[in-house]
């Protein structure tokens, strides 16, 4: 007798085989039988006529580091059939929580009244495990957070000693169960790294059969999109590790319609024997920080340094010109929606254009004001 009997469904088993009609018998929380179970009894029956029965989906790109601590039930995932999440991604994580990275992690936790009780990647995931999340988790180690822990927001190459420290953080994470290294080269401080730095860190994950995933340096909004794709492939090729290009998309206006060329680059690499794949989300939007509208050089040294630069009229004009160029490339202020702004939740749901009209300021002035108010609240 089964605990649960699911009848009349169409089974898609995840193997790549064609779908088929079958019943599913569950006992003790495990699938015990698949086939014609019409003569079997069960404590509970589910009629899946017209529905698909499939294994839980794996979401390979999430940012649930903090939210799973807040709500380990993960209803938004479970209700979509997701039973496994991979994070962190885009080079931004919650560990190692040391040095300048500790301040960043504390800022992430502050809206939820949570305290940092870990230092390493392994300690963070132990803390998460203690929350008994309803989904499985595949841990990664975030390159940007590792770099921040050692170099802060400095835009330069690491010294030999600093690179060793970064490698030690990655090594510790892999020993503690991380499955690979994720980078976010479109963001700071991750974007201050060159390929050699990333290859050196990938040499560490190779010993643990890890994977390298990357929010690449440009998606058509920060330089040449195709060069960025090739850079990710080259890193994997030189370090001899699998590469996953995160949320492959043509973001900047001048690369719209050129996805075929991007896919051809990936196909050509695969035909040479390089293990490279990509993922993509199914909606016409992206979610990021307001800081992506500012050129990376402006944030060298951190947000405080950005505001120091803005006090210089000549430099401020250059920053504004580059800001406006990036804003236009990404679709304009009317396409920039504010989804989360702790200092003034009334702005949430408004576009940058609408906020500018409300404040009677330029888009650049609004962006500076929002950053300033966020800084004040975080202190």
11: CATH: 2.30.40.10
Domain co-membership, 163 together with 306: no
Give the domain extent around 270: 57-278
Provide the mean pLDDT of the chain. 95
The answer to whether residue 13 sits within a structural domain is: yes
**Would 284 be classed as within a structural domain?**
no
pLDDT value, residue 248? 96
In a domain, 338, yes or no: yes
287 falls within a domain: no
Report whether pLDDT(16) > 80. yes
Same domain, 149 and 234: yes
Say whether pLDDT at 101 is over 90. Answer: yes
Residue 378 has pLDDT above 70, yes or no: no
Q: Note the pLDDT of residue 48.
A: 97
pLDDT at site 56: 94
Say yes or no to pLDDT of 287 above 90: no
Q: Report pLDDT for 319.
A: 96
Number of domains in the chain: 3
Residue 148 shares a structural domain with residue 101: yes
* Whether residue 377 has pLDDT greater than 80: no
| Residues 234 and 117 both lie in one domain | yes
Q: Does position 285 have pLDDT exceeding 90, yes or no?
A: no
Domain boundary among 278, 311, 338: 278
Model confidence band, residue 376 (pLDDT cutoffs 50, 70, 90): low
Closest listed residue to residue 244, CA positions, set 216, 207, 282, 284: 216
In a domain, 145, yes or no: yes
With 90 as the cut, is the pLDDT of residue 283 above it? no
Average pLDDT over residues 13-37: 95
We report the CATH number of the domain holding residue 144 as: 3.20.20.140
Instruction: Evaluate if residue 379 carries a pLDDT over 70.
Output: no
Q: Are residues 236 and 105 in the same domain?
A: yes
At 296-306, the pLDDT tens digits run 999 999 889 99
| One domain, residues 271 and 298 | no
Residue 107: inside a domain, yes or no? yes
Does 79 lie in the same domain as 20? no
- DSSP for 111-170, please give it: GGT-----SSHHHHHHHHHHT--SSEEEE-EEHHHHHHHHHTT--SPPPHHHHHHHHHHH
Instruction: Measure the CA–CA gap between 127 and 33, rounded to whole angstroms.
Output: 36
Contacts of 263-268 with CB under 8 Å at 24 or more apart are 265/226, 265/229, 265/230, 265/233, 266/229, 266/233
Of 112-121, 137-146, 301-310, 369-378, which gets the smallest average pLDDT?
A: 369-378
- Residue pLDDT, tens place only, 159-196: 999 999 999 999 999 999 999 999 999 999 999 999 99
Answer yes or no: do 66 and 140 share one domain: yes
User: pLDDT exceeding 70 applies to what percent of the chain?
Assistant: 99
In a domain, 135, yes or no: yes
């Amino acid at each position: 007798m089964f605990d649960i009997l699911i009848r009349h469904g169409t089974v898609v088993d995840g193997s790549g085989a064609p779908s088929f009609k079958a019943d599913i018998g569950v006992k003790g929380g495990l699938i015990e039988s698949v086939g014609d179970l019409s003569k079997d009894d069960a404590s509970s029956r589910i009629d899946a006529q017209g529905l698909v029965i499939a294994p839980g989906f794996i979401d390979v790109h999430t940012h649930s580091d903090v939210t799973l601590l807040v709500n380990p039930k993960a209803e938004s995932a479970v209700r979509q059939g997701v039973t496994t999440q991979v994070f962190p991604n885009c080079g931004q994580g919650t560990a190692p929580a040391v040095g300048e990275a500790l301040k960043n992690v504390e800022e992430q936790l502050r809206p939820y009244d949570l305290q940092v009780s870990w230092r390493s990647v392994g300690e963070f995931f132990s803390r998460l495990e203690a929350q008994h999340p309803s989904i499985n988790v595949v841990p990664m180690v975030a390159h940007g957070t590792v770099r921040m822990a050692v170099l802060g927001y400095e835009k330069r190459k690491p010294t030999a000693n600093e690179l060793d420290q970064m490698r030690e953080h990655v090594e510790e994470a892999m020993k503690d169960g991380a499955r690979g290294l994720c980078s976010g080269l479109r963001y700071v401080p991750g974007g201050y790294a060159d390929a050699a730095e990333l290859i050196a860190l990938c040499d560490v994950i190779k010993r643990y059969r890890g994977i390298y995933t990357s929010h690449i340096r440009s998606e058509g909004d920060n330089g040449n999109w195709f060069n960025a794709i090739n850079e990710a492939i080259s890193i994997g090729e030189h370090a001899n590790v699998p590469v996953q290009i995160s949320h492959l998309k043509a973001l900047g206006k001048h690369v719209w319609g050129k996805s075929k060329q991007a896919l051809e680059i990936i196909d050509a690499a695969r035909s040479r024997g390089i293990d490279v794949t990509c993922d993509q989300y199914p909606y016409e939007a992206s979610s990021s920080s307001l800081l992506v509208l500012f050129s990376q050089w402006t944030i060298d040294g951190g947000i405080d340094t950005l505001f120091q630069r803005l006090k210089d009229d000549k430099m401020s004009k250059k920053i504004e010109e580059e800001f406006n160029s990036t804003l236009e490339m990404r679709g304009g202020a009317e396409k920039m929606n504010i989804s989360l702004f702790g200092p003034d939740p009334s702005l949430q749901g408004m576009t940058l254009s609408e906020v500018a009209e409300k404040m009677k300021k330029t888009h650049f002035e609004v962006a500076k004001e929002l950053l300033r108010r966020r800084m004040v609240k975080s202190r």
